[in-house]
Structure 1
């Protein structure tokens, strides 16, 4: 029996080693990596495409492999600044590729013939480039293709009937090119999205395609039939003149009849000339309109989803890349792991996170699985140039306690900011959320950590960034999931809005007295708002009047009134009373908060002084976990402070 057990254990060990060795062999798609490196080295690109040869290709931006990391399944490089022709014998070697997205680049030339080797391709997105030549023959052999987007390029020549070889096709987008000739009868059984608008096609629309809307054929002035105008001639051929009976002699017309006939003929000729002139002018106007027509905006997400047959593997790219869209594209301030653009955001599933004083925030789940937060700004009065200049300034701010702006979008009707998603939520939700039986109290050590990390962030913004935050409140203090450090958002946005607009009622409690009068924020008004935030941390009360139970009183005045009556202990959040040996620190932090909310701006300390005061409080503690040099908060940093445990366990509360 012992021999059997030993043999079984040995077999198990060998099996584990075998499995590990198997996965080790398949942990890197060596051949695909060489193909990608060949592509990378032969085509010009912007620096945001960072592929480190020492890393696995499966970890590169835009690359996704199969579960065993043995083959590249998805290559998505939209808007990556790729320029020039696609080199031969590079991408054509990715024989297991499922999705290829190179849209919104500067690619030129024709599609390489070796694309015919990509037999497993299901989706191709090449729109918004400068490809030329005839319809790529290599694509017509990819029988598993479900979605083909060649729109907004410079393709010419006829659309081949061989497109019908793509029997799995659900969507084909060929608009905004130079395709000419007649339109073949394209009729794969599952085709639900079709667009050939703004080309040079002529003739009648095949019956199989007449089910699509007229917008799918617009801009082809010589197309007719189906949803467009009928293919009838403008004038019917003239009927033959009746011959006179042979046995009757012609009679001489009277002078009056001759005059009447002449006048009638002249009026008829004039009418024909007017009709012909109107027709010519109308056609010329249509030709001018067709040359000026802009590329259509992307269809709504619902329409895109309807055309996707393989939702699990396709990025479902949609056309839409006019000069206007190019000018108003999503601009990234911090090149990172993201590889998405505005079209991806428009198709993402969205959830409202909250409505603030500057706009509404949405949680957006992209199709590739990434989660970001999109803030839709409202009432922006800044011009596009002013907006972009401020974004450039804010994009340079790097600090461990700053929630950096990832990207922005500006158009006449929409102004969007994109941030990383912080799953731990905001300080406001943690402090003022439900305090029922399942509620986890925010202990004193974490409140101190939040106070100090927020102070360091504001000091950095003031001293190194020369930026006024202007909108400090607990809902803008987001928390890191791993250590509850603060991550401050919505900084530097005030100049986008009219100074004459009254403050939102949700932020009234944080506004310094002088801001309520002038509507202008300063470094000192930031200090005041931070002081209110400290009082909020200490009292557990929201700084609006409703939470204080008294009309016409704000949080600083309420705290002053309680302390004046020597009821200092009544100020503090009841949840803090559960922790031992923290009363002295709470009183010290209360004094710092009261100094920050002084009515006269000059009497308030600067933010770097506030940081020093809070650090002085902590230096006596042996279990600090947040010790920094007193000047560390003024330097940008990518490091993170390690978490620490609560200093003392809660007292048992007698029911």
Structure 2
């Protein structure tokens, strides 16, 4: 009897182990089908080992429960195979080059909790079978080419807390979603109609770039959502509007007559007629005081020439206008950065400059002026020169040359869809060399002098796409210790105070910039860290597997003749972004190596 029991137990164990092996074999076959179809980092898998040891694959009780290959160079259409991973709980294939439709066998992923497919080129309608996966908690399909309506059966996902569908081509209206969503975004699609009341508590940014109305955006038809006005109320509103318009017209006529006999005493940077992006730089009371009381109100300065109302100029290139004329120039907002808001100011004579209005300057006037004097004295062909500055108690302005081609960040990351002109290797490496030379020059001004805020949006471009480095050496006087750090993706790990950035920390930031140039990925994108990996560590993990080709931006893959130089620049970038400062090269060495790469490329040409 005891012998029989043992035989039965052994048989059951054998059947269990056979079933486990069979399930894992099925998972292995599904992964191999994926590898054959889209390649990328899946080619790193050691096929002689268990699939549970493969890169990006995680198992529990001998079943694949997670597959994470973000930014893994996967190219092509997903095969009908992933649906066989029936115990899969997390699937992350974001930021690849996957195309086509989501395979129908995804409907078999009943255990799936997290699906991250953003940043690909997937197309077609969002399949309704995704909303039959009852365990789904996070669904991210952003930045693809999905079209058609949002499926009406979205409410089937009772556990869903995150739904990201932004930057697709979805159309139609938003269905009445009655879910407790913590994160939601459908911005920059082709949606129309009113926003469901259930979503009215979401931020306005979640709906921008569509033809939508209702809370939190403007009310539909100019009325409160769900309320209708009576005929008498509408008549009253019309009469009130006419009265207000007449009153405004009378005031304008009065002001125009009054102004004819007086000079302009309160100029602003006024937008040109019909310019939608134009703006005004509000003027502080101290600026008014300086203009109206020209007898010695401004503090003494030591620039090359002092403007009539406190503007301090460096050199003679921009002489000939004063603060009042600057404030009168037509203005266009270029953007808001770490240090403040930048405006493009155009004078009637055609002169164009950039005015940066600083905010939260924590240092005293003397220190501010001393720093600006030092910055204004710097001259290099790859720097955006500081032409003038203005200081008062409530207003600090910096005046720079205008760079017509915008920033390297916009050139690299903007318009990644159809119609984009690929950014070639020669342009990228030339920009890198120009930026390196500028930072090398800054470091040559003294051992404690650093840029302090290196990032791709601070690399501006001339008409011929040559690099011009901006925002240099002002972090110490503009950033306060309590200022939130906005450049975490570029910040060296040893930097705790954004005002105290060493030259070696600059090298780290420049290394991240080079990685951005080579991979085409922005290190500050919030979704990059969804899997807990920053750009330097992501690149390092691939290089360690000797699969460097998967790192490069898809736009660079075509330049096979310079692949060796691309790998050399990649290694230089990794060295610059080393965790420990003493392991990083100097900017002089960095400039020399990039120059050698440019010379080698020209020799091949």
Range 607-616 or range 397-406, more displaced: 607-616
- The aligned counterpart of 2:457 is 475
Which residue of the other structure, out of 369, 377, 380, is the alignment partner of 1:399? 380
- The aligned counterpart of 2:292 is 320
Answering whether residue 513 of structure 2 is matched by residue 533 of structure 1, we say: yes
Which residue of the other structure, out of 489, 498, 502, is the alignment partner of 2:470? 489
Q: Give a deviation string over 1:167-211, Cα, whole Å, max 9, x none.
A: xxxxxxxxxxxxxxxxxxxxxx96633359xxxxxxxxxxxxxxx
Cα 1:300–1:394 change in 2 (3 A) is closer
Match runs of 1:94-133 below 5 Å = none
What SS is found at the alignment partner of 2:556?
helix
Q: Distance in 1 between matches of 2:362 and 2:483?
A: 15
Which residue of the other structure, out of 259, 269, 272, is the alignment partner of 1:192? 259
- The aligned counterpart of 1:578 is 558
Q: Distance in 1 between matches of 2:471 and 2:267?
A: 31
Match runs of 1:411-490 below 5 Å = 411-464=392-445, 467-482=449-464, 484-490=465-471
Match runs of 1:290-309 below 5 Å = 298-300=266-268
Match runs of 1:236-255 below 5 Å = none
Q: Distance in 2 between matches of 1:319 and 1:520?
A: 37
Cα 1:444–1:326 change in 2 (3 A) is same
What SS is found at the alignment partner of 1:576?
coil
Contact 1:545–1:552 at 8 Å: present in 2 too? no
- The aligned counterpart of 1:608 is 588
Contact 1:539–1:573 at 8 Å: present in 2 too? yes
What SS is found at the alignment partner of 2:317?
coil
Q: Distance in 2 between matches of 1:487 and 1:302?
A: 28
- The aligned counterpart of 1:553 is 533
Cα 1:299–1:616 change in 2 (3 A) is closer
- Over alpha carbons, which structure has the higher Rg? 1
Q: Distance in 2 between matches of 1:612 and 1:543?
A: 25
Contact 2:485–2:498 at 8 Å: present in 1 too? no
Contact 1:503–1:519 at 8 Å: present in 2 too? no
Q: Distance in 1 between matches of 2:602 and 2:271?
A: 61
Answering whether residue 349 of structure 2 is matched by residue 368 of structure 1, we say: yes
Contact 2:342–2:355 at 8 Å: present in 1 too? yes
- The aligned counterpart of 1:142 is none
What SS is found at the alignment partner of 2:355?
strand
Q: Distance in 1 between matches of 2:326 and 2:602?
A: 48
- The aligned counterpart of 2:33 is none
Answering whether residue 528 of structure 2 is matched by residue 562 of structure 1, we say: no
Q: Distance in 2 between matches of 1:568 and 1:304?
A: 50
Answering whether residue 477 of structure 2 is matched by residue 410 of structure 1, we say: no
Cα 1:299–1:615 change in 2 (3 A) is closer
Cα 1:465–1:345 change in 2 (3 A) is farther
What SS is found at the alignment partner of 1:509?
coil
Q: Distance in 2 between matches of 1:351 and 1:382?
A: 28
Q: Distance in 2 between matches of 1:620 and 1:301?
A: 48
- In the superposition, the TM-score normalised over structure 1's length comes to 0.47
- The aligned counterpart of 1:348 is 329
Q: Distance in 1 between matches of 2:493 and 2:337?
A: 21
Match runs of 1:30-45 below 5 Å = none
Q: Distance in 1 between matches of 2:601 and 2:411?
A: 26
Contact 1:344–1:367 at 8 Å: present in 2 too? no
Contact 1:528–1:596 at 8 Å: present in 2 too? yes
Match runs of 1:251-290 below 5 Å = none
Structure 1 residue 465, shift from structure 2 partner: 5.7
Q: Distance in 1 between matches of 2:444 and 2:398?
A: 24
Cα 1:518–1:365 change in 2 (3 A) is closer
Q: Distance in 2 between matches of 1:547 and 1:429?
A: 18
Structure 1 residue 408, shift from structure 2 partner: 0.3
Q: Distance in 1 between matches of 2:271 and 2:469?
A: 38
Q: Distance in 2 between matches of 1:453 and 1:447?
A: 10
Cα 1:414–1:575 change in 2 (3 A) is same
Which residue of the other structure, out of 312, 323, 328, is the alignment partner of 1:331? 312
Q: Distance in 1 between matches of 2:438 and 2:270?
A: 41
Count of residues paired in the alignment: 326
Q: Distance in 1 between matches of 2:508 and 2:272?
A: 49
Q: Distance in 2 between matches of 1:550 and 1:337?
A: 47
What SS is found at the alignment partner of 1:363?
strand
Q: Distance in 2 between matches of 1:324 and 1:433?
A: 48
Q: Distance in 1 between matches of 2:271 and 2:583?
A: 59
Structure 1 residue 300, shift from structure 2 partner: 4.6
Contact 1:545–1:554 at 8 Å: present in 2 too? no
Q: Give a deviation string over 1:105-131, Cα, whole Å, max 9, x none.
A: xxxxxxxxxxxxxxxxxxxxxxxxxxx
What SS is found at the alignment partner of 1:516?
coil
Contact 1:298–1:320 at 8 Å: present in 2 too? no
Structure 1 residue 619, shift from structure 2 partner: 3.8
Contact 2:452–2:499 at 8 Å: present in 1 too? no
Contact 2:267–2:328 at 8 Å: present in 1 too? no
Contact 2:490–2:523 at 8 Å: present in 1 too? yes
Q: Distance in 2 between matches of 1:443 and 1:366?
A: 35
Q: Distance in 1 between matches of 2:541 and 2:497?
A: 24
